[in-house]
Structure 1
């Protein structure tokens, strides 16, 4: 490049460099360049945003004030209701035991078997083959049940521990065993007349299970506890006493050994005479405690649902009947108390007596001639009894009957007791026939338990005790923690009752009750064969009630035994043939169980020798 060229280029460059260029504005110049006044709409929008935010804050604050201060009480209550649950835990009923401590009723853990076929890991046929032998059913029947629905099929209930253990050992998927409690009666029908039963809702429906519900249920109560959001109960909030309950048991005065003997004896006679029903009662006359109370036909309380509902009531306390000749000793006691007769009074039995134009005869249709009072009871003379009670003013006689409580209940601790029926004083005293029929135990009605109570008064020296079955609440050692109280009422003097008992002894030794004799034991008794009253009035033509009542031992009267048989069939159906053999069997069992010693009796005037030397 020549020198000339370099100069030209140098001149050209200088010219461009010296040319004036626009200057970059600095930051201050730039800010000043873009600054502008905000528009009215921008300000409005800003105010609206702030106003909205402030309004929201004030609204939330007000709402919080309402929730935390104004509505605190009601919301706190609602929250508690949602967080707490009211529970009534299942507490087993108290067991029932007899006087020896034998269990008569208790709560038993049972299981119900449910299957869910959709969860089976094996085929329906395989599951059925495994379950069928344990359930004692046909496998094909189980397969048919499995095909009906996919889940929730109940195959069995009330399974015991043995069955459930075997089912658990199979380890089958889709098989559930649900636990529950059920009332169990290990003696089956032995004391069903007394115990009653508990239904599936655990409610007592008959017998002591019904009448003694408050004693059998262990202080049932409800309590509230907390639960979480998923409804799970929080153990920390359970009350400490929720699972603390006593181990007391309800003890009865019944003796199952005697109960079994009485039921067996009653069944034999009912079958022999094809009777409608029957009952046996054994009472301790000292305090009114019942050692046995049997009525037939009966039922199994473990399977109460298979029985007729008419069996659930105990007819010895709920049904009335006319006692007939078994009431004669009580009339004799009334007559002695009023001073119109003595044991040596002689009555002429002609075999027929007419009262208000009504003819009255003896059951044997025979005249017995002259009888002392013991003879009247021995022969069970209706005619003689009418003459005895005719010596007594009818109003006084009525008042004496009323004093026995014939129109009242006995206050027994079983449900369904009814009061006896005695006509009004005006009806009774208006016509002589009323007193005449009452003299041999007809024209009024009572329950079998009432008749036992009255004869117990003859045995204990004249006191009307309260028949009862409940002894009290006892612990595992037999210590009494609660005992019911019972009243006593004097209706006869001891002197009168002793005379009547001795006269009743001759009924067994020399009279209609000879079939009840037991060698080396002094027994008082009375037979009864009464016409059965018709619901429409009058008496049923071919229906009667036979009975026999006994008191032993005569030297120290304590036990009263009554057997009643309703509508026995056949020709030879009397208290002596139908009911007396039952009482004899029961007395033999009682003597053995209670250890009653024999007594050597000296012969007395009018009484045959009872002990053969």
Structure 2
């Protein structure tokens, strides 16, 4: 085979320059191909990932903490408000100037944790030890003043209840996660939480946030607060009056409610025992509910004026109708007696209310057909839930129409307020019909949202009042109730110079095993002033020892009404009587001083 000689190469590539040109073109071609592939990889293959990565570098996402709206009473006294608070962390590995023991001794009196306990925590981990939550600004300032490396304060917010237990039954509380768990804090969480969407802001090349890209109105704070109908002064007075009588009679629990009968707004609603929402975790969970709204009881004789109104409105009786009270009456195989056992002879309707005659009430309600009576009770809301802005409302209990109409004992016991169950708030609402001309109104505690200029920006929509009694019937029964306070079982609620209508109640408690136990619920409900009825005040005291509605509940209502008169500046019905009474009291006081 003939070997290729040196003359063969020039025959393929004649010029070395051509070789270099070909090499360059090959390199350029391969480079361009590589660039195209890299561009495809960046634009198509890794495009979505790189876009997200770029946004992370160029944008900042914020969801700033926005304090809950404050809650105030009708006079703008603060009942609940968010305040800055801090969580204290310790990082012992960077303690510098002092030992763990020295820092523990210095920190203990400031935060209220024993030094030995602090030292145990310091020794539990080298860093990130959570020492205490909910530290207020003044305490945080003292911790900062220590100037110790390794102590870290993380800012957050806590909820403060300046009135403490005074309004706990209404306001409720928030938990450690700032979520409402009781009262309005729970039921009106969507109103109390200010809405603020997630914010996305752009960063400059050096990482600084560019404010010119912030949404318009970002810095305009929502200054609205939730205003209630409650008057904290009256709330405090009602609680004190209730606590005194509960302690005197060793009662299990009690409640006081004050309602403006015109529109159903509540000026006071207290329940005892209660809790301090600032330290809710120290109390039994059963205290978190407002039993005036959540628990049922048989109202007893305080329901008698409502029954009288039913009979009058049905025209089955007249205001001057007379009944024979022998002290006992037999219904089917049951004998119903008056509370004291004695009869009152021939008595009219006013006298029946005044002396709280069970026998007279049974005869009165027997003038109605049981079906009509049952229909009236349902119309008044017995057997249904109560519309209100307060949470956890109980559904009242009423026997079925068939049971009520076929068993004569059912309408007979209902005549004196037993055999069915309602809440104390139900009773106040129904009694308010006698004070406002016969209308059922909606009990409520929220007035609305107001801004810093005292302008109403939102108010709740309430159902319109529902007429159930005529104004004549309502006025007639309210005036009958005046005899209870003047000459009957409610004399303990008398206030010189003021016309007051009222009704006492001492009802047996139903036993879980059936029938009734020896325990009792005492109550008193009042309307004032009778010449121009407006307010309903009720007190219900559960299981007092050796007490009655007259001795336990009526004095509580009197004390609350006296505070209400001072706060609302209610003029006396008879100023001359008031002046005479004041003079007599001054004279008695003078004689006492002389003695």
Structure 1 and Structure 2 fold alike (TM over 0.5):
yes
Task: Please name the residue that 1:17 is paired with.
Answer: none
Query: Within the alignment, does 1:444 sit opposite 2:420 as a pair?
Result: yes
Q: Per-residue CA shift, 1:271-314, capped at 9, x if unaligned?
A: 12221111000000011110000001101101111111111111
The 5-angstrom pairing of residues 64-463 of structure 1 reads 64-65=39-40, 67-68=42-43, 76=51, 79-80=54-55, 84=59, 86-122=61-97, 123-226=99-202, 235=211, 237-463=213-439
Task: Please name the residue that 1:590 is paired with.
Answer: 564
Task: Please name the residue that 1:468 is paired with.
Answer: 444
**What is the aligned residue count?**
572
Q: Per-residue CA shift, 1:166-221, capped at 9, x if unaligned?
A: 22222222222221100100111110000000111111111001111122111243
**C-alpha distance in 1 between matches for 2:229 and 2:112:** 40
Higher deviation after alignment, 284-293 or 168-177: 168-177
Higher deviation after alignment, 140-149 or 150-159: 140-149
The alignment partner of 1:459 has SS state of coil
* Distance change (3 Å), C-alpha of 1:240 and 1:601: closer
The alignment partner of 1:191 has SS state of helix
**C-alpha distance in 2 between matches for 1:256 and 1:190:** 7
Q: CA deviation at 1:377?
A: 0.7
Q: CA deviation at 1:128?
A: 2.7
**Structure 2 unmatched ranges of 5 or more:** 1-5, 585-595
**Structure 1 unmatched ranges of 5 or more:** 1-33, 604-608
Q: Per-residue CA shift, 1:110-155, capped at 9, x if unaligned?
A: 1222222221222223323332332344444433432332222233
C-alpha contact (below 8 Å) 1:115/1:152 kept by paired residues? yes
* Distance change (3 Å), C-alpha of 1:366 and 1:209: same
The alignment partner of 1:344 has SS state of coil
**C-alpha distance in 1 between matches for 2:53 and 2:513:** 64
In the superposition, the TM-score normalised over structure 1's length comes to: 0.87
* Distance change (3 Å), C-alpha of 1:243 and 1:601: closer
**C-alpha distance in 1 between matches for 2:176 and 2:205:** 33
Query: Within the alignment, does 1:531 sit opposite 2:508 as a pair?
Result: yes
Q: CA deviation at 1:529?
A: 1.0
**C-alpha distance in 1 between matches for 2:166 and 2:11:** 105
Query: Within the alignment, does 1:505 sit opposite 2:485 as a pair?
Result: no
The alignment partner of 1:267 has SS state of helix
Task: Please name the residue that 2:587 is paired with.
Answer: none
Please provide the CA RMSD for this pair. 3.0
C-alpha contact (below 8 Å) 1:509/1:517 kept by paired residues? yes
C-alpha contact (below 8 Å) 1:428/1:434 kept by paired residues? yes
Q: CA deviation at 1:352?
A: 0.9
The alignment partner of 2:482 has SS state of helix
* Distance change (3 Å), C-alpha of 1:422 and 1:116: same
The 5-angstrom pairing of residues 41-80 of structure 1 reads 54-55=29-30, 57-65=32-40, 67-68=42-43, 76=51, 79-80=54-55
In the superposition, the TM-score normalised over structure 2's length comes to: 0.89
Higher deviation after alignment, 60-69 or 271-280: 60-69
The alignment partner of 1:316 has SS state of helix
